[in-house]
Structure 1
Amino acid sequence: MRKLLLLSLALSSPLAFAGPECTKADKAEWQDQAKFQEDLKAQGYEIKKFKVTGGNCYEIYGWDKDKRKVEIYFDPVSGKAVKEEIED
């Protein structure tokens, strides 16, 4: 029972699912969300879901130009990928 409680607490902790911290810059410095998505689409990405994370990242779920499933966290100021997961 005790192990189940510890597992439950660990899984419900926000740190258990924490993504990267992308920037501490003021949101006034961030790239426009719509323009950022359009630029990704022009690079061949198909975006299924776009969101702003608690770690101040732009995160996309979708497919790259090679039709591989991706989850990518971007720095909203520089536009550079901070973390990415690609399924072949």
Structure 2
Amino acid sequence: MKNRLLISVAAAIAKMTFSPAAFASPVCTAQPQSKWMSPAKMKAKIAKMGFKSIKVFQTSGSCYEIYAINKDGRRAEVYFNPVTGAVVQNNID
């Protein structure tokens, strides 16, 4: 009985920890893609912000997302509003 309870609790924790919602990108804009900056213009803006060595540049949900090195030399995963170019979420290692 005790083992069953532990297994149930462990399963519930795992479900919450590894749910797809935990890995979802933030909502960056409600504007249609026709209003977004072109990828080339966005990449230029990102470079001016000091991000270097952009390994990945992609569309993620309603955001532009990059994996790059920030101006302090640290790895960063950054989500941008594709209309304004503003940083919406910045995850730094």
- The count of residues paired between Structure 1 and Structure 2 equals 86
Match runs of 1:2-13 below 5 Å: 2-13=8-19
Note the C-alpha offset of 1:12: 3.7
- Which residue in the other structure is 2:4 paired with? none
Larger radius of gyration: 2
Q: Secondary structure at the match of 1:2?
A: helix
Matched, 1:53 2:60: yes
Q: TM-score, normalised on structure 2? A: 0.77
Instruction: Say if 2:67 is the partner of 1:39.
Output: no
For residues 1-88 of structure 1, the aligned pairs below 5 Å read 1-46=7-52, 47-54=54-61, 56-87=62-93
The offset of 1:79, in angstroms, is 0.4
Unpaired runs of 5+ residues, structure 2, are 1-6
Percent sequence identity is 37
Deviation at 1:30, TM superposition (A): 0.4
Q: Tell me, which stretches of 5 or more residues in structure 1 are unaligned? A: none
* 3-state SS of 2:71 partner: coil
Separation in 2, partners of 1:84, 1:40:
13
